[in-house]
Amino acid sequence: MATRPTVKKSVTIEPEVIERLSSDRLDNLSATVNEGLRLLATLDAQQALVDAWEAEHGPFTEDELRPYLEAAIRAQAENAFRTLRRTRQASTAPV
């Protein structure tokens, strides 16, 4: 499998962000940064689609947005509960 060329950049990361990362993410910080940037690139592409649609058709109405906002809120709550469960399991696991 051929490797793709990479771009080497110097970045500054806030200490609070580093402290909150799991050891797995810190073990390969480049992969962690790439994963985050891929997510942001996807969000930027989605926002560009929304902007283009709204430029042609006008802003989305509250009724049009409601199902998507509700799904996003549900997903965020599920993620928070999943994180809470993991934290609780880790704190009660035998050492």
Q: Mean of the per-residue pLDDT values for the chain? A: 92
Q: Residue 25 class from Cβ within 10 Å (0-12 exposed, 13-18 middle, 19+ buried)?
A: middle
Mean pLDDT, residues 70-78: 95
Indicate yes or no: pTM above 0.75: no
> Tell me, what's the pLDDT at 93?
74
Mean pLDDT, residues 44-61: 96
Query: Sorting pLDDT into bands at 50, 70 and 90, what band is 95?
Result: low
DSSP readout, 21-60? S-HHHHHTHHHHHHHHHHHHHHHHHHHHHHHHHHHHH-PP
